[in-house]
Structure 1
Amino acid sequence: MFSIIVLALLSLSSLSNGFRISNCGSPAGSYSRILISGCDDLNNVCVLHRGTNVSMEIDFQTTENVVDVKTVVHGTILVVPIRFPVPHPDACTDPNSGLSCPLNKEGQYHYKSTFPVHTKYPAVSLTVKWELQDENGNDIVCFELPAKIR
């Protein structure tokens, strides 16, 4: 019995060391779930492997009517934010995003995106900031997570 309790405590301890997704403020909405392929919850950072594609899913709710949704991604290295291009920045016209605009106030939505981690990217530690913005540049979803490009 004691060994089961110790094993359970060790499991909980390692889960608490997983990488943290932080909300960076979203006046036009909020997210309830974020899934990122290839990110191991047991690591302190999300490891992004060069030459691969990463898939992401976000469940979110809007707090206002939204006409258009843009995807904006930055990687902050030290203190310098660098904009990362995404294949389909207009989420409303991306047939794979799962979104159909306009979005209704207090609507529940499921967003999907796949983006390449190019081989030309340097192997570096960074903070990824992912935003879904409305037509006025207000964040519907904004989160940050620690990552490493390998």
Structure 2
Amino acid sequence: MEAAERFRRGDENTVIARDLRVSVWSVQRWRRAWSQDGPRALASKGPASLPLLSDELFAVLERELDKGPVAHGWPEQTWTLSRIRTLIGRRFHKRCTVQGVAALLKRHGWSCQVPARRAIERDENLVAGWMKETWPQVEGPWRRSTSGSSSRTKPDSR
């Protein structure tokens, strides 16, 4: 709409393009549409493509993701974009790219995370006890830093 106002004032295409940070070609195309149909020709027509999944279908996808990858036949509990893409294809019979899956998830508030690989049998209390009692003995006194110790030497005060 700002371009339409600038066209009405008679501003040059190159100036409008620079100010709006678009190509001169885009401004020329806008000016042609504006001159034929007025400002309403420049109104947004919505996104260039429809979303891959509606909000209702995305809710179904989230329920499927909550079941975990093992429930869908993968050997370990790690979701990848490629696996989610395959799940969308199997469940909804829709094809998409890995980048499209990433955009879909991001649009719905999901973020990429790399899981910390931890054994299911891991006992955090035992690990904490080992770190507190056993590790200092294994580490040895030569590795522990003391206050004031440094690998740097003080500069000469000559």
TM-score range, shorter chain: under 0.3
More helix by share: 2
Q: Which protein has the larger Cα radius of gyration, Structure 1 or Structure 2?
A: 2
Query: Normalized against structure 2, the TM-score is what?
Result: 0.21
More strand by share: 1
Structure with larger RCO (C-alpha < 8 A, sep 6+):
1
Query: Normalized against structure 1, the TM-score is what?
Result: 0.22
